[in-house]
Amino acid sequence: MPSKPLLAKTSQILYGGDYNPEQWPESVWEEDVRLMRRAGVNLVSLGIFSWAKLQSDENTFTFEWLDRGMDLLVKNGIWVDLATATASPPPWLSVRYPDVLAIDADGRTYYHGSRQHYSPSSPSYRKFAALLVEKIASRYAKHPALVAWHINNEYACHVHNCHGPASTEAFRAWLQKRYGSLEALNNAWGTAFWSQHYYDWSEVFTPRKTPTFVNPCQQLDFQRFFSDALLELCKMERDILRRITPDIPVTTNFMSFLKPLNYWDWAKEIDFTSWDSYPDPLPGQRGDLVASMGHDLTRSLKPGRPFVLMEQCTSHVNWRPVNATKPPGSMRLYSLQAVARGGDGVLFFQWRQSIRGAEKFHGAMVQHAPAEKSRVFQEVCALGAELKKLGQVTGSLIRSRVAVIVDWHAWWALEMPSKPTEFNYQSSVAQFHRYFYENNIAVDFVTPDTNLSSYALVVAPTLYLLQEKDAQNLDAYVRKGGAILVTCFSGIVDRDDNVLPGGYPGYLTKTLGLWVEEWFPLGLDEKRIVQFGKGKKLSARKWSEVVHLEGAKALATFQEGYLKGRAALTRNSLGKGEALYLATELNTKDLSYFLDALIRDIDIKAPLSVPTKVEVTLRENGKKRFLFLLNHNKKPVRIDLKKNSGLELLTHKKIKRQIQLPALGVAVIELD
């Protein structure tokens, strides 16, 4: 089903950036809009950090400057993604209402003087944020510039927890709702261990500084609570906005795999997803790969709807030890990659580079150098002109036959301390995503309770925490003909981080046709040889374990020591499908060897076979199909299009049989 355009007023690719006119005299604003028009900007995110300029005390609001900004923009054909301005409370607020300030686990306060210093559970923050949103929404509800709402900014970007009195109270209330009784909490948290039994709710705290390991379920619940507490704030703002402007879509900018926020819950509450992408341009950092994973996550969070790349940089950031500058041409390539992977908007942080404050050395669309003489601005204008040619791509979607399971509860629980070894959830997920990215196989991220019937292959990397109902969902998917690949240390605990005894991996033993008796984690430099049948030897690392087969067949076995001859990789035929299990971690090259064979078996293919480091995606909208080809090589490549032909939209040329792409070149072909 084709999706609707993101914004009612346009079917253009959205193009622009964060605009902070309050940092500049109004004489500069005229020049800004002139340059915006020149660059093809059609959308700016306005007022993100404007609270202090908009409100000087409890009752005094100053909107006139913002009125003038909004009027000027719309007069020049530029729409506004208007911020609710709640991301950085003004100093007067935290001085008069100190409960606004967040407090860390050691009891130290985050003060104003930077940004995002608020406690999510502070009654004063909530009260004044709600008031501000109400005022802004009422004032601009009918303004012709307004096309979207930008709630807050990058929730939990800097502050990942709060342990102040209001947060402690809110945590208790959250637990009361979850468990109903202290008895249920004591049971879930396993408080018989280390004398932690609670007799009264007032004894329960957020996980503050302790001599050694904090109760794991207490920590896990705190992570859940914190994500929910910020989401409550976001919903509070959203409800005000929807009441006053029911037709204006709302978003808040995500940050890809941001551990503190369970974005699956968040995405349900907003109208379209957007994210901020800052891959490191330093050579060797594989920024394209990192960005592709963020695009795929942001797209997957809201199936059936394109996303917006809300922020990226034109040139360089200011917050790494070395802030490498994107080489000429790569900003365009990264921007078109966002579109190729399902984005309908390409925006930057920020429009005009600051000359004061902590971000004055962060690149922008208009840099410190005179705009008209700047390479960056020329590239910005050229990109704006190109995006105008891609309007018909908007609303088209990506169809994936492969899914990788991502679950925040499993992530939080897995990375808590006192485990058999140190796992890194994101890198386990990334190893699989990388394979599909590099092989140009479209891949979605999904939760373990997703209806998986449209996928031919589902991968579950280290799904340490797994609820019974979700395990049943995976089992049913396999029985109906799906293929699943589960990797080691999955299905170990239930939702409360309590172990399922009687053989790992708990609820998945029947699905996988095996059980695991004990683990032999490997040292950092230790390797194990794993042999495929009688053939190829692969290199395994990090983990090994004793697998007992109960129906599954070994595809590969460990070759050394006590585990010699025991299964390292298994396959279980179940109903119409198959469940595979990897009892170790393979290095990336060897994982590819195995996955190549697996996808051949399942008949999963890239849309086109191309030279290495050429990215291929397909966006579809009803009968329209758009083939994106992105050359990440520093040299030209020739691509054999096989039987495909069509109109290349950036050059408006008919293409048949083959196409030549320059270094960092991109083609978007509307297929015949």
Residues in contact with ligand GAL by the rule CB under 6 A: 153-154, 157, 276, 278, 311, 317, 349, 359, 362
Min CB(84)–ligand GAL separation in Å: 14
| Nearest CB to ligand GAL, comparing residues 124 and 152 | 152
User: What's the CA dihedral at 132, 136, 137, 141 to 10 degrees?
Assistant: 170
| Nearest CB to ligand GAL, comparing residues 112 and 409 | 112
469 SS3 class: helix
Instruction: Give the residue from 660, 649, 19, 663 showing the smallest Cα distance to 339.
Output: 649
Min CB(260)–ligand GAL separation in Å: 14
Min CB(253)–ligand GAL separation in Å: 6
In the numeric block, which tokens belong to residue 356? 């004061």
Rounded CA-CA distance 151/45 in Å is 11
CB neighbours of 254 closer than 8 A, spacing ≥ 6? 154, 261, 263, 266, 273, 274, 275, 276, 298, 301
| Nearest CB to ligand GAL, comparing residues 193 and 319 | 319
Instruction: Name the active-site residue from 22, 31, 154, 585.
Output: 154
Angle, CA 580 vertex, CA 577 and CA 585 arms, to 5°: 160
| Nearest CB to ligand GAL, comparing residues 293 and 582 | 293
| 563 φ, ψ (degrees, to nearest 5) | -85, 0
Min CB(329)–ligand GAL separation in Å: 21
Min CB(49)–ligand GAL separation in Å: 7
648 is catalytic: no
Min CB(53)–ligand GAL separation in Å: 16
| Nearest CB to ligand GAL, comparing residues 19 and 140 | 19
Distance of CA 173 to the CA centre of its chain: 29
Instruction: Name the active-site residue from 232, 237, 269, 311.
Output: 311
Amino acid at 507: Y
| Nearest CB to ligand GAL, comparing residues 153 and 450 | 153
Radius of gyration from C-alpha coordinates of the chain: 26
311 is catalytic: yes
Distance of CA 414 to the CA centre of its chain: 19
| Nearest CB to ligand GAL, comparing residues 112 and 566 | 112
Min CB(322)–ligand GAL separation in Å: 15
In the numeric block, which tokens belong to residue 557? 């076995």
Can you say whether residue 175 is alpha, beta or left, with left for phi > 0 and alpha for psi between -120 and 50 degrees?
Answer: alpha
CB neighbours of 45 closer than 8 A, spacing ≥ 6? 16, 17, 18, 19, 80, 81, 82, 83, 150, 310, 347
> What's the length of the chain?
672
Angle, CA 499 vertex, CA 497 and CA 501 arms, to 5°: 165
Strands (E), 591-636: 614-621, 624-631
Catalytic residues: 154, 311
